[in-house]
Structure 1
């Protein structure tokens, strides 16, 4: 299948605040011409568990001073397997599984192609949350009782029941609830029809798969729009299925990486579309396909964060806020290190290193889009909206590591990191930090578990040329990404993430590597990484790190330092991961004043 019918390019059918299902006196975005846009991105768990809190305690508090735009991921369920995106991927897989052919009754009085028997034309209902027509809304199956139920039908029913239950739990206004129930029912039946069509032709193209997954953001954003309206916010659902600007014809199978100019054009188009909503509060889908080469292939499942970043760029926003269920970025995982501290401000390079080596911060490519336009990113906690969070600040003139240590030493000063954060405030703090310098420390320590280490020893001791080329060529053919590598003339050690790596693929990889030499594999390992922008100037920090591990009886399998010199990593036994994390945090990151531990009002 090439994909669903394209949605209309028309803007929302919203007219005024007296239409059915619209509570009176809705709160709108600031109409001050000097007010800046503020992009808020909410993750699937936040949308699933805290939709009402977002509407009541967060969004409303920003509207008078800012123009707020909201980007939502698909809802997450009680478990990861029951998250909407996972259920949609499961439904797509089920549509291609062989089962008895469905029996679809024909619609009386119509003449349709054989494969479309039982489909009826349907138009998208006009409601406060409908926006542009769904890409799944062109056809609708007959009643479920009149046809054989394919495998995917139960999965669609699970998605439908979850969203209906969330709506009925969260929304009190009867008219708003009625509208969102109609939307959920219509979209789920349209999705069912689309999956049935895929089953009939026994094909789901990459573009079709994108559209199926994008259905999750549509439902989440429609539900969030309804919750906002139920709580007095004049919100408008914005679908971005057709926002990508037209491009020259390309081979549909193309998977080459899109260049920066493509994302710049998307950012501009997204910004122009969002501005049409003013003064309403746009609730924007993270899905923005179809993208050449497929959105899932080109970007991956983190495309919602990327869309939020592109929206911030297109709107020239004052700040991009990413709302999670943690207070921000910590010096270590607070679930494993009780003395971990919140980091008020961090550099993009440090945030990228922490993301790569185990901390869930922001994807480096997403970060790059806003940082290059000098837009700060703030990580905040849905459960603690008044907390300052962590600011990833792009300005190279601000000494982020030294400034964050000054704030840690006097936590109450973090309050002047107002929202949106201003360059002037940070520069004032930077001057104060210079006047009261503290001993420079690394920024954070992180752990990445489920690692397998492969050691390859050359079987040609006297002919080493081509040894490394053969190994890297093998890794490339198998599509395996190496997290850490340590090499000598005839020996290579590689740390590879084991989680999600197919055992048969790993066995085939080892078999192929044995052509270059003897191979040993060590499973259940972990990568311990010490990160800090100033570490390149810290004499003895590596010695302190490894001495601490040795004194703690933690054996080191391999050592690596990145070319950026802001990260020192080593591989240890996974059983020692939590112990090593606490040892290094205490030895290398603990702020001490008068021989004691610095304390402050941090939430762990």
Structure 2
């Protein structure tokens, strides 16, 4: 049993969807297909929501352009009646989106509420999944489209909803399994869920990966396949390091850490459902379906590999230094700070506790005014903005005691604001100025992966930056 997820670039137009259909048709057995919105559509819908706050007519014109794009793809369906029904479905979804735009404008707010934004942006995956289901049928692959909010149940945290696994598993048993038993390929839009009151939620950007992993876990899939526009997970972002190379095998922990620290191939939450059921996750290129790709699994033998595996960077980070006014009970102090962060919904990227000082790296989007108010009674706060967090992943590599020394030697005169050795597969994490992020990535990547004398930390030539 396979779950195949196709990203936006893999369903960008009719030709891309035909390639996806060929991939699905080449597989045998039960299959669930999860799709993202067509490339660029999610960003366009979010922008339409912003525009709608001030200019409803401009927002509707942009929405009409997106509707026309989906109709262009629908014209590739050869079967006349199927094409007619598909076009009617596209128009129906467009009318619902127009209603969402009108509601955003009527609310009179400077920005859409998270709930109204979710209602609008979900249109992308609803459009794309209907297109994929129709083109699969057109290719002779028996398929059935399912409405994602009927399957994935979540809490009411709009734009970053958390799935509720019990009702989701129940819906999978009721709606998905019978179709698979009748030899139908099930097609579902990713990213979308429903709150307890039935309103539309989304799982956050990149959430279609998460949808695929949830469905794979509920179905005890043999494999979850993530089809994208690259050959797999690379040792670094190829837009930054052109000579980055393919990583053929990653552990669950390594893949999770790379995603947390900014690797774009996977949503960070994808790994947990797969790891809980020990389901392999394979990342593949829809334009090169015969390529090896990257396989993510337990891979305990990777612990003995002494080399760096990959590097990743998370930009848009602020370093928050919290200084307790009471030097006693530092653990209690740290617990209070993390409680305030959790109350504000602020995820922590990195943290380091030294004496009465807690340094926490968080995203720039955090509510810093609210945080400062929350800790004002017991601590002082300093903020350092315009930073990036860089991580180096490699579980066997982490055992080297001279790792930090050698890494700092590689970076030379690059200012480093924080150094941490988190638990898990990331033996090294650094916070640097955003302006130095790319050079930091390159120096770590090339120094510990490609230098002939640097296959292990401790062997690195200290003159490498000259």
TM-score by length of 2: 0.81
CA-CA distance at 1:60 after TM superposition: 4.7
Determine the C-alpha separation between the residues in 2 that align with 1:480 and 1:315. Answer: 32
Find the counterpart in structure 1 of residue 247 from structure 2: 343
Residues 503-522 of structure 1: pairs in structure 2 closer than 5 A? 505-507=367-369, 509-510=371-372, 513=375, 516-522=378-384
Aligned-partner SS, 1:332: coil
Aligned-partner SS, 2:12: helix
**Which of 9, 16, 24 is the matching residue for 1:45?**
9
1:547/1:305 Cα in 2 relative to 1: closer, same or farther (>3 Å)? same
Instruction: Decide whether the 8 Å contact of 2:86 with 2:131 is kept in 1.
Output: yes
Find the counterpart in structure 1 of residue 462 from structure 2: none
- In the alignment, structure 1 residue 228 sits paired with structure 2 residue 228: no
Aligned-partner SS, 1:553: coil
**Which of 72, 76, 98 is the matching residue for 2:39?**
76
Determine the C-alpha separation between the residues in 1 that align with 2:383 and 2:289. Answer: 46
CA-CA distance at 1:458 after TM superposition: 4.0
- In the alignment, structure 1 residue 487 sits paired with structure 2 residue 353: yes
**Which of 184, 188, 210 is the matching residue for 1:284?**
188
Find the counterpart in structure 2 of residue 570 from structure 1: 430
CA-CA distance at 1:236 after TM superposition: 3.2
The structure with the greater share of residues assigned to helix is 2
Residues 110-149 of structure 1: pairs in structure 2 closer than 5 A? none
**Which of 523, 532, 546 is the matching residue for 2:385?**
523
Determine the C-alpha separation between the residues in 1 that align with 2:344 and 2:294. Answer: 38
Determine the C-alpha separation between the residues in 2 that align with 1:69 and 1:231. Answer: 16
Aligned-partner SS, 2:150: coil
Find the counterpart in structure 1 of residue 310 from structure 2: 444
**Which of 394, 401, 404 is the matching residue for 1:542?**
404
In structure 1, runs of 5+ residues without a counterpart are 1-36, 100-148, 403-438, 596-604
Find the counterpart in structure 2 of residue 316 from structure 1: 220
Determine the C-alpha separation between the residues in 2 that align with 1:200 and 1:337. Answer: 47
**Which of 164, 170, 180 is the matching residue for 1:265?**
170
The CA deviation string for residues 398-423 of structure 1, in whole angstroms up to 9 with x for no partner, is 52456xxxxxxxxxxxxxxxxxxxxx
Find the counterpart in structure 1 of residue 450 from structure 2: 590
**Which of 124, 142, 145 is the matching residue for 1:237?**
145
Residues 131-170 of structure 1: pairs in structure 2 closer than 5 A? 153-168=60-75, 170=76
Residues 308-457 of structure 1: pairs in structure 2 closer than 5 A? 308-394=212-298, 398-400=300-302, 440-457=306-323
Instruction: Decide whether the 8 Å contact of 1:238 with 1:284 is kept in 2.
Output: yes
1:341/1:362 Cα in 2 relative to 1: closer, same or farther (>3 Å)? same
The CA deviation string for residues 363-416 of structure 1, in whole angstroms up to 9 with x for no partner, is 34332222222221101112222211101114x6x52456xxxxxxxxxxxxxx
- In the alignment, structure 1 residue 186 sits paired with structure 2 residue 92: yes
CA-CA distance at 1:57 after TM superposition: 6.4
Task: Number of aligned residue pairs: give it.
Answer: 452
Aligned-partner SS, 2:122: helix
Instruction: Decide whether the 8 Å contact of 1:43 with 1:72 is kept in 2.
Output: yes
CA-CA distance at 1:513 after TM superposition: 5.0
CA-CA distance at 1:286 after TM superposition: 2.6
The CA deviation string for residues 4-40 of structure 1, in whole angstroms up to 9 with x for no partner, is xxxxxxxxxxxxxxxxxxxxxxxxxxxxxxxxx2221
Determine the C-alpha separation between the residues in 2 that align with 1:311 and 1:465. Answer: 39
Instruction: Decide whether the 8 Å contact of 2:414 with 2:436 is kept in 1.
Output: yes
The structure with the greater share of residues assigned to strand is 2
Aligned-partner SS, 1:399: helix
Instruction: Decide whether the 8 Å contact of 1:544 with 1:588 is kept in 2.
Output: no
CA-CA distance at 1:56 after TM superposition: 3.7
Determine the C-alpha separation between the residues in 2 that align with 1:486 and 1:346. Answer: 27
CA-CA distance at 1:555 after TM superposition: 2.0
1:569/1:470 Cα in 2 relative to 1: closer, same or farther (>3 Å)? same
Find the counterpart in structure 2 of residue 216 from structure 1: 124
Aligned-partner SS, 1:494: strand
Instruction: Decide whether the 8 Å contact of 1:445 with 1:585 is kept in 2.
Output: yes
CA-CA distance at 1:467 after TM superposition: 4.5
Determine the C-alpha separation between the residues in 2 that align with 1:208 and 1:580. Answer: 40
Instruction: Decide whether the 8 Å contact of 1:447 with 1:581 is kept in 2.
Output: yes
CA-CA distance at 1:546 after TM superposition: 2.1
Find the counterpart in structure 2 of residue 59 from structure 1: 22
Determine the C-alpha separation between the residues in 2 that align with 1:469 and 1:64. Answer: 50
Mark the structure with the bigger radius of gyration.
1
The CA deviation string for residues 450-482 of structure 1, in whole angstroms up to 9 with x for no partner, is 222222334556897965455344434433332
Determine the C-alpha separation between the residues in 2 that align with 1:545 and 1:199. Answer: 52
Find the counterpart in structure 1 of residue 463 from structure 2: none
Aligned-partner SS, 2:194: coil
Instruction: Decide whether the 8 Å contact of 1:326 with 1:380 is kept in 2.
Output: yes
Instruction: Decide whether the 8 Å contact of 1:534 with 1:566 is kept in 2.
Output: no
In structure 2, runs of 5+ residues without a counterpart are 456-466
CA-CA distance at 1:164 after TM superposition: 1.7
1:54/1:566 Cα in 2 relative to 1: closer, same or farther (>3 Å)? same
1:88/1:73 Cα in 2 relative to 1: closer, same or farther (>3 Å)? farther
